[in-house]
């Protein structure tokens, strides 16, 4: 269903259908206009020819009478276009004075029949039946002209029906229209797909930033210099400014941490020295102890910030040696047996064999310990935290899974940020730097840290190192 919904929301598809629809409407409108004009031209041509003949024969009749008209028609009948003419002179009261019928109008053979001669006798005459073409394949075009003296000259011709003549054109249109519509959809989709490619890259870049939290992602600039290219440039400019602001904030935070660490350490030493004095009352002693504890918390926060900054800058001091990642994970998890028991959480270590890697054992142990501490802290009573280690062809992996509430999809990239705390974690103690430190340590080793939700609930944090 996701694929169907993506196709339905595709801007390129809507553009192509819109383009094909208007293209089809325009194509049909042009064909209809041409079809009508062609039909009118055929009809006009037939009637213009008959009108010309009518004018000529009217002139002959006016000058030479009926016999002159008959002679002229007999002379012209050698021409095929005149032989096919129907001519008739109609006198007063609709009586027929004379007529000429085209040969193809005569149906069957002529017959000799007896007719009365008006004097009481009979005479033989040749009689043929006349068929006026009244079928779908033929049209009858007739023009009339008044010759004066109540005499009317009619000229007609049976022509091929315009519907029949234009039938091949209509059939061709349907075939061509189908091909044109398909080509319009294909061309429109290709053009729209190409035109909206920068927009798709903008969406993909934004999605990648939200998913991974990597603010260095940028949209490739299109070759064309149009409105879409301008959108891409402005989008990249916004990303550059955001990255610069975040970088400045981190630098400021690092500088503040560096500058505050020394005076805080001095304040702690002063509080310890004050505790050694005699004659202090209980309130003064409590205040000095509280100052020392608060100073330790702030110093731990500042030290963690400095270590993360060093790791991200590639300046963390690491003692790289061949190590067993599985043994490191087992030792780090073993430190939390009593903590897990006190919290009512089962801590299970599922590590079968050696997982050889190269790294700093102290830092890797710190990363695993942070994840185990995190898992126990956010797993309810009666839950379970499982530590696993496995080795693959290219990477070694240590995972810490729990049966807690898991991590929301929109927070999976944010949990690695400095000082970020989920809504569920705001009621727990902590500095909000544990996961940031974990990822910083793993990336300083050339590995990475990731989080996903387990199939049966809870979260699964994975640490990977190249072998």
Q: Where are the domains of the chain?
A: 12-165, 245-308, 321-466
Q: What percent of the chain has pLDDT over 90?
A: 10
pLDDT at 133: 52
pLDDT at 27: 78
Return the sign of the alpha-carbon dihedral for residues 369, 375, 377, 383: negative
C-beta contacts of 142-145 below 8 A and 24+ residues apart = 142/50, 142/86, 143/47, 143/50, 143/51, 143/54, 144/54, 145/54, 145/55, 145/58
- Residues contacting 418, CB < 8 A, separation 6+: 250, 253, 305, 308, 432, 433, 436
pLDDT exceeds cutoff 60 at 273: yes
List the beta bridge partners of residue 322.
Answer: 358
Q: Are 62 and 148 in contact (CB under 8 A)?
A: yes
Tokens of 320: 């790289």
Tokens of 252: 């400021």
Lowest mean pLDDT among 95-109, 261-275, 373-387, 406-420: 95-109
DSSP state of 278: S
List the beta bridge partners of residue 145.
Answer: 153
List the beta bridge partners of residue 21.
Answer: none
Cα atoms found within 13 Å of the Cα of residue 71, Cβ hemisphere only: 7
pLDDT at 401: 92
List the beta bridge partners of residue 151.
Answer: 148
Residue in 66, 41, 59, 64 with CA at minimum distance from that of residue 145: 59
Spatial strand order in the sheet of 151-160: 96-100, 85-90, 151-160, 138-148
- The segment with the largest mean pLDDT, out of 144-158, 194-208, 366-380, is 366-380
Length of the chain: 467
Q: Note the pLDDT tens digit of each residue in 8-30.
A: 566 667 777 777 777 778 878 88
pLDDT exceeds cutoff 70 at 107: no
pLDDT at 399: 92
Element (H, E) at 451: strand 448-453
Backbone angles phi, psi at 125, to 5 degrees: -140, 155
Alpha carbon 381 to its chain centroid, in Å, reads 47
Q: Note the pLDDT tens digit of each residue in 241-263.
A: 877 776 776 676 666 666 666 77
Cα-based angle 176, 181, 186 (whole degrees, multiple of 5): 125
What is the third-level CATH fold of 321-466? Heat Shock Protein 90 (3.30.565)
pLDDT at 46: 72
Residue in 30, 23, 4 with CA at minimum distance from that of residue 191: 23
Q: What percent of the chain has pLDDT over 70?
A: 74
Average pLDDT, the chain: 76
The CA radius of gyration of the chain, in Å to the nearest whole number, is: 50
Tokens of 454: 């387990």
Q: Are 315 and 447 in contact (CB under 8 A)?
A: no
Burial group, residue 435, by CB count within 10 angstroms (0-12, 13-18, 19+): buried
pLDDT at 2: 44
pTM of the model: 0.45
Tokens of 325: 């990642």
How many angstroms separate the CA atoms of 184 and 21, rounded?
A: 9
pLDDT at 132: 54
Cα-based angle 456, 458, 462 (whole degrees, multiple of 5): 105
How many angstroms separate the CA atoms of 201 and 227, rounded?
A: 15
Q: Are 47 and 67 in contact (CB under 8 A)?
A: no
């Amino acid at each position: 269903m996701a694929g169907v919904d993506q196709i339905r929301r595709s801007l390129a598809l809507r553009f192509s259908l819109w383009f094909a629809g208007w293209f089809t409407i325009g194509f049909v409108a042009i064909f209809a206009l041409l079809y009508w004009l062609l039909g009118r031209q055929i009809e006009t041509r037939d009637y213009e020819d008959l009108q010309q003949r009518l004018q000529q024969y009217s002139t002959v009749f006016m000058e030479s009478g009926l016999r002159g008209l008959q002679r002229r028609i007999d002379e012209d009948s050698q021409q095929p276009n005149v032989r096919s003419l129907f001519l008739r002179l109609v006198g007063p009261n609709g009586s027929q004075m004379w007529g000429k019928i085209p040969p193809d109008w005569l149906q069957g053979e002529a017959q000799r029949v007896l007719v009365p001669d008006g004097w009481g006798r009979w005479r033989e005459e040749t009689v043929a039946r006349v068929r006026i073409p009244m079928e779908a394949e033929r049209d009858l075009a007739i023009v009339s002209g008044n010759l004066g003296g109540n005499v009317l000259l009619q000229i007609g011709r049976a022509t091929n029906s315009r519907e029949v003549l234009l039938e091949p054109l209509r059939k061709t249109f349907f075939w061509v229209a189908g091909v044109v519509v398909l080509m319009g959809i294909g061309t429109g989709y290709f053009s729209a797909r190409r035109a909206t490619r920068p927009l798709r890259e903008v969406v993909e870049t934004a999605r990648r930033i939200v998913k991974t939290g990597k603010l260095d992602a940028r949209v490739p600039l299109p070759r064309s210099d149009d409105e879409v290219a301008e959108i891409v440039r402005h989008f990249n400019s916004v990303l550059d400014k955001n990255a610069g602001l975040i970088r400045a904030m981190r630098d400021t935070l690092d500088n503040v941490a560096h500058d505050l660490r020394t005076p805080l350490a001095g304040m702690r030493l002063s509080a310890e020295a004050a505790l050694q004095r005699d004659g202090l009352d209980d309130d003064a002693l409590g205040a000095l102890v509280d100052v020392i504890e608060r100073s330790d918390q702030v110093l731990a926060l500042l030290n963690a910030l400095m270590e993360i900054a060093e790791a991200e800058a590639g300046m963390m001091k690491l003692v790289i040696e061949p190590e067993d990642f599985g043994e490191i994970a087992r030792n780090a998890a073993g430190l939390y047996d009593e903590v897990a028991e006190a919290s009512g959480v089962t801590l299970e270590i599922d590590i079968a064999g050696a997982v050889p890697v190269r790294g700093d054992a102290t830092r890797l142990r710190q990363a695993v310990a942070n994840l185990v501490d995190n898992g126990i802290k956010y797993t309810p009573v009666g839950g379970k935290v499982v530590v696993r280690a496995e080795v693959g062809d290219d990477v070694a992996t240590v995972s810490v899974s729990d049966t807690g509430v898991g991590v929301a999809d929109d927070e999976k990239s944010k949990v690695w940020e400095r000082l970020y705390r989920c809504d569920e974690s705001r009621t727990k103690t902590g500095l909000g730097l544990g996961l940031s430190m974990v990822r910083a340590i793993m990336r300083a080793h050339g590995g990475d840290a990731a989080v996903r939700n387990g199939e049966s609930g809870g979260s699964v944090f994975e640490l990977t190192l190249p072998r």
